[in-house]
Amino acid sequence: MQKIDLNGKTILVTGAAGFVGSNLVKRLFKDVKDATIIGIDNMNDYYDVSLKEWRLKELKTLSNSSCLGGESGLGGSFNFIKGDIADKATIDDIFEKYHPAVVVNLAAQAGVRYSITNPDAYIQSNLIGFYNILEACRHYPVEHLVYASSSSVYGSNKKIPYSTDDKVDNPVSLYAATKKSNELMAHAYSKLYNIPSTGLRFFTVYGPAGRPDMAYFGFTNKLVKGETIQIFNFGNCKRDFTYVDDIVEGVVRIMQGAPEKKVGEDGLPIPPYAVYNIGNNQPENLLTFVDILQQELIRAKVLPENYDFEAHKKLVPMQPGDVPVTYADTSALERDYGYKPSTSLRDGLRAFAEWYASFYQKK
């Protein structure tokens, strides 16, 4: 593994106003000295744009205090560009101007169900956008390209926990197919142009200021309005819920350790390429998850103590594109980076409920 010192480096984070992206930028400000962080996001309206604007405002505040030697005292700067990674000229301009040493590609059209009704968005962002990033890394060589893949690539695999050694040739949604395509494209570019790249298969990320299309957030919005929540597969679903800080910790560690460049017996590069799972390694039943969520929403006073959950809960069949279980084998991450996510579901949902109370009750 090639060690990378992030201090003083220029780091490009795509999807910087997104859930994982904004938390990553925040973390880099706190831990990395004199970093120049370039963020790009197209600020699309797939979900409430005001949430993205709020995250961005937080980053700009943090950036100003950092530059003045404030909260972190580590210096550094944050330059935000409103733009789309699917626009080749925009990406080429960024690489030409800033020459990033490390690139973290988190920009993507997310969501399994949305890919059924809006396939174009996935092709543009997840395939063309990622291709533009790879081409830029080819022409302006980087020390490490880290990119988000997804647990969705495991599709309907029966073997659990999911290991990165498993075959992933059976995607059950277009979203999953685009994420698997990203891994294949990255492998080809690693082989052809010796670009050190690492793909990260995220497992059901949740936490404060998350994505409103995710179950925990969507359920909360509906319960607050007195609407009924639908629990798919009649509650017989298990998800490896992973708290956002644990995801970010994994990303930061991996950014600092790139696959090593080596030459094979044929004199050609062995692709400096790797893929890891980042998950909690502990799948939770959806009904247990809903039960903990309701307790924490009452505790945070988002919902009244006498709220009748049974009257607002409906068990329904499985949705197209969904899978019954996600379960991460994180042994490779532990072996290579000495890291295993560990935030409990209760702690994570408590943090979300408290954030939700302060964010929406202030409005």
Among the options 175, 216, 276, 339, which is catalytic? 175
CA distances to 46, 129, 210, 220, 306 from 353, in Å: 22, 34, 11, 9, 17
Note if 175 is an active site residue: yes
Q: For residue 165, count other CB atoms closer than 10 A to its CB.
A: 9
Q: Do 173 and 120 form a contact (C-beta atoms < 8 A)?
A: no
Residue in this structure with the two tokens 């400096």, named with its chain if needed: 272
Q: Do 345 and 258 form a contact (C-beta atoms < 8 A)?
A: no
CA distances to 117, 196, 295 from 3, in Å: 43, 12, 44
> Whole-angstrom Cα distance, residue 36 to residue 10?
5
> Whole-angstrom Cα distance, residue 327 to residue 282?
7
Q: For residue 179, count other CB atoms closer than 10 A to its CB.
A: 27
Torsion-angle region of 209 (φ positive above 0: left; ψ -120 to 50: alpha; else: beta): left
Positions marked active-site = 175
